[in-house]
Amino acid sequence: MPRDDRSTDDRRLRSTAARLDVPRDWRRTFVPRPSYDADAFGRLSERIARFLGTGQFLVYMTATILFWVAWNIFAPESLRFDQYPFIFLTLALSLQASYAAPLILLAQNRQEARDRVQYERDRDVDARTRADMEFLAREMASLRMAVGEVATRDFLRSELRALLADLDLKSREDDRV
């Protein structure tokens, strides 16, 4: 008989819902929660922060402010929208700054997270490289020890010459006897 996965899941949800130490999976609310893609918002904030740090932005901002001030000084009285103390301009610049600062901080936090991941990767690569170098150093040491125990051609020739000399000496002694 096939198992009913839905009833098993329902039982599991009911048993965990009764427990106080387990958070609920969902909650019914009348006000929908706003949802957004955090990565997309982060990428957008990085693009904005990069633009805010350019000379192009400074030129645009300066031109906008100069146009604003000039318009509100030299335009006919009926077309002016911000009188001399330029309170609306101050409000607009404050609003721009209040949005720019958190966006820049968000972009910096994302960059810091990327840097942290890169540092961890570099540390892992460094550890592997060190382990490989230690392994190769041990292998080289063992090869040197093994080569030290191997008889070289010159050593064999000298030993053979010594044996031949001993054999010649013994054969001469045997001939005398």
Q: What is the pLDDT of residues 67-80, one digit of tens each?
A: 999 999 999 999 99
**Structure tokens that stand for 111 in this block:** 């960059």
Task: Provide the pLDDT confidence category of residue 33 given band limits of 50, 70 and 90.
Answer: confident
32: left (phi over 0), alpha (psi -120 to 50) or beta: beta
For residue 26, is pLDDT > 70?
no
**Structure tokens that stand for 153 in this block:** 């051609």
Whether pTM > 0.75 for this model: the answer is no
Query: Under 8 Å CB-to-CB from 36, ≥6 apart: which residues?
Result: none
What is the rounded end-to-end Cα distance, in angstroms, of the chain? 105
User: ∠143-149-153 over CA atoms, to 5°?
Assistant: 105
Furthest-apart CA pair in the chain: how many Å?
A: 144
For residue 1, is pLDDT > 50?
no
- Closest C-alpha among 113, 92, 94, 91 to residue 46: 113
Lookup result for tokens 């609920």:
24
Segments making up each domain of the chain, as ranges: 36-151
